[in-house]
Amino acid sequence: MVQAVLKATSSLDSHRHARMEVLKEKVEEEEAAEREEAAERAERGEKTKRPMEVRREETTMTQEMLRDLERKLSEIEVSVPEKLLAFTKDTIDTSKLPLSYQSNTLKEEHLLQVADNFSRQYSHLCPDRVPLFLHPLNECEVPKFVSTTIRPTLMPYPELYNWDTCAQFISDFLSMVPLPDPLKPPLYLYSSTTVLKYQKGNCFDFSTLLCSMLIGAGYDAYCVNGYGSQDLCHMDLTREVCPLTMKPKESVKEEEKAPPKKYAIKPPRDLTSRFEQEQEMKRQEAIKAEEENRRKQEEARLLEQENAKTDPLHGLRVHSWVLVLSGKREVPESFFIDPFTARSYSTQDDHFLGIESLWNHKNYWVNMQDCWNCCKDLVFDLGDPVRWEYLLLGTDKPFLSLTEEEDEGMNDDDDVENLGKEDEDKSFDMPPSWVEQIEISPEAFETRCPNGKKVIQYKRAKLEKWAPYLNNNGLVCRLTTYEDLELHSYKSMQPEMDRVMEFYETARVDGLIKREETPKTMTEHYQGRPDFLSYRHVNFGPRMKKLALNSAESNPRPMVKITERFFRNPAKPADEDVAERVFLIAEERIQLRYHCRSDHITANKREFLRRTEVDSKGNKIIMTPDMCISFEVEPMEHTKKLLYQYEAMMKLKNEEKLSRHQAWESELEVLEILKLREEEEEAHTLTISIYDTKRNEKSKEYREAMERVLHEEHLRQVEAQLDYLAPFLAQLPPGEKLTRWQAVRLKDECLNDFKQRLIDKANLIQARFEKETQELQKKQQWYQENQVTLTPEDEDLYLSYCSQAMFRIRILEQRLSRHKELAPLKYLALEEKLYKDPRLVELLKVFV
């Protein structure tokens, strides 16, 4: 500590000698300035008495006065101490960071020395262990102890009071940045304020921020430096099931059977076959067993594929997470929190492979236990010095958990007193955090995700989150589930693309419940129709090129094949009830398959060759036996007649036209639905509360209009109160009309007075600067005379005074520089107002 003080003293001595030379130069400059000012006053007095006849002379005088003003202001110079320039560094926007970010206090320097000594002893005793993560650099490239980077803060939002919602907010608010070297801790550990400002950070930044908020909320939380799995370090949740897809377990309540009544009627005997019931149960169990076996085989295959992709750095990847110990906030059992995903894990979880050290805002502990079995065998009793080696010996460290027998042997009062004296001698309190108060604005808390959006990939699912009011349709969360691990999806509002539409059967007259569409096919499923239609599948061919509008309405896709299936119609015999019919439009054929009778093993089939009614010469084509090919289980005479076949074929032709028309109407309906969906997407108007003044446009415009009216009224009142000609008009006889020469004299006197006021203000700033410089010099001289007898508290007060004095000197230098820039502009603005003043405008027209 004394060495640090001597270094500061030597730097201040050099500043003091430089200050003496500056003061000598100031005295000479003051004398020269006074002589020039006296000569200027005399010259200005002659010019006011000299008559001005033309505008050219007026302009010349104005330019001379401006040059004189600029020259006098430029003569006032100040020198900035060199130590001020050392506070700013070319790093991540460090110009506005406080002093605690850019330097260390004496107590922090002492703590760094203690940490270095601890690290050397640790490396000597455990040469096979990796170096400890103790004091990385912050954003200003200043080494800071990790415990002082934690800033316990209780946020003003009730949602951030519990650990789960707090961790979820940090996971959503920040973007993950991987470590530069996956095998080593980072060289830099930024403050939580910087991490929140840029909304990104690595695992150590996440853990530090989460630990600060949890400790502020009353949890016993610690940052952990250890080793994690590849999925944990890369924030990879593609092997995890999305929590939103998990259905809660429903508790099945057994219905209490009412006691049988004495005179109740006995139920009829169950005459169903027990053998058939047992066979049905066996069949259902076999189906379930087969499905379970298939599922297990698929899981085994996927697990084998995942295991084939072994991580070559398994057990070596550095990761940081948060440990929450039991006890505070009614936490029943200790657990881990991964800050990337906000998920809680047991201390026995396989994702966590080892721990090197952990810390909170009060102390630092090194794990001395073996991690051969990951973290499963670790005991988190931080008061046990055998398992956890602590850095600082303080009264706030956890106590060792003892059994009753061990506790009985620790009742010696002398030992307790001696132990207390040793602790008092060796204890060293942790310095306060150098990080500023953690603050999250209401706008940032509501927006949460970076740029308002965040996407999380799960196993067979994707979760998307948006900030409120970011989407025009009000969408804030969307969960998409997939059937495969590759997450294949087809989403498009364009027609003739892959899509599935589901409908309510009771809301439609045609009984459509589902429509599946691809670029070449369209499949529809029906239920509850009077014609017993259950299925229609349409195959399309390539569209013909058309010179006109090439749209789905004006140029529909040609139909190649239509397949329809029907439910069983009990009003018809099975061998006459059509089960499936296929219209092969391109081949001009129609195929029929009938339902199978219960006492048959096969069904009737029939195929018609659909030809045109007339040939190329116009002759009518007659029905021939080769135009109908049939297979019947029990042939009947009437089905072999040509008249029956002809009537059936003509009926099928009409039904083909009807099916083609219905398929065309389905295509048009798809276009209308897609068009309606686009209009709905664009026509969303969200209702915004009138109390939300930032988003409610009407309320915002009204507030801005009221503020604008109040501001204009305030300006009018100020202008009415400030009359720059009032002091000079008071010198004239009351009620006397101004002459032209009096108006010129009033203008000149007003401008000269304003010029003198600007010069006096600059001199006042210079005088304050010199006063601060002299007081700093006296303080430095006092320090040189008494530095041997000063206490550490006096040294801290002296260094604090020097820092504040240099800050005030820098502010005075900036104010003087700004005054030099604005003084000529103010002078010209006043001159323009004088020429436009209604009391002088008519008299000064000749000079304009």
**Model confidence pLDDT, tens digit, residues 260-286:** 777 777 778 877 888 888 999 999 999
Q: Is the pLDDT of residue 552 over 60?
A: no
Measured in degrees and rounded to the nearest 5, phi and psi for residue 628 equal -140, 120
Q: Is the pLDDT of residue 801 over 80?
A: yes
Which residue, among 522, 525, 516, has the nearest Cα to 541 in the 3D structure?
Answer: 522
Q: Is the pLDDT of residue 17 over 70?
A: no
Give the helix, strand, coil percentages of the chain, each rounded to 5: 45, 15, 40
**Model confidence pLDDT, tens digit, residues 634-651:** 888 777 788 888 888 889
Mean pLDDT value of segment 39-51: 48
CB 213 within 8 A of CB 166: yes
Helix (H) or strand (E) segment spanning residue 165: helix 163-173
Distance from C-alpha of 117 to C-alpha of 132, rounded to nearest angstrom: 12
Q: In this predicted structure, what is the pLDDT of residue 833? A: 82
Q: In this predicted structure, what is the pLDDT of residue 160? A: 93
**Cα pseudo-dihedral 801, 806, 809, 814, rounded to 10:** -140
- Given pLDDT bands bounded at 50, 70 and 90, which one contains residue 56? low
Is 223 exposed, middle or buried (CB count within 10 Å of its CB: 0-12, 13-18, 19+)?
buried
**Cα pseudo-dihedral 775, 780, 785, 791, rounded to 10:** 100
**pTM of the prediction?**
0.56
Is 787 exposed, middle or buried (CB count within 10 Å of its CB: 0-12, 13-18, 19+)?
middle
Provide the 10 A C-beta neighbour count for residue 528: 13
CB 633 within 8 A of CB 610: no
Distance from C-alpha of 258 to C-alpha of 135, rounded to nearest angstrom: 73
Q: In this predicted structure, what is the pLDDT of residue 624? A: 80
Which of 212-216, 524-528, 573-577, 717-721 is least confident?
717-721
Tokens of 33: 């300035």
Higher pLDDT, residue 216 or 829: 216
CA atoms within 13 A on the CB side of 323: 26
Distance from C-alpha of 227 to C-alpha of 460, rounded to nearest angstrom: 28
Distance from C-alpha of 166 to C-alpha of 209, rounded to nearest angstrom: 10
Q: In this predicted structure, what is the pLDDT of residue 591? A: 93
Q: Is the pLDDT of residue 297 over 50?
A: yes
Which residue, among 562, 652, 660, 560, has the nearest Cα to 608 in the 3D structure?
Answer: 652
Tokens of 513: 């419940």
Q: In this predicted structure, what is the pLDDT of residue 19? A: 39
Q: Which amino acid does the sequence have at 555?
A: N
Helices (H) and strands (E) in the chain, counts: 19, 21
Q: In this predicted structure, what is the pLDDT of residue 22? A: 41
Distance from C-alpha of 701 to C-alpha of 475, rounded to nearest angstrom: 26
Bridge partner residues of 366 (DSSP): 357, 389
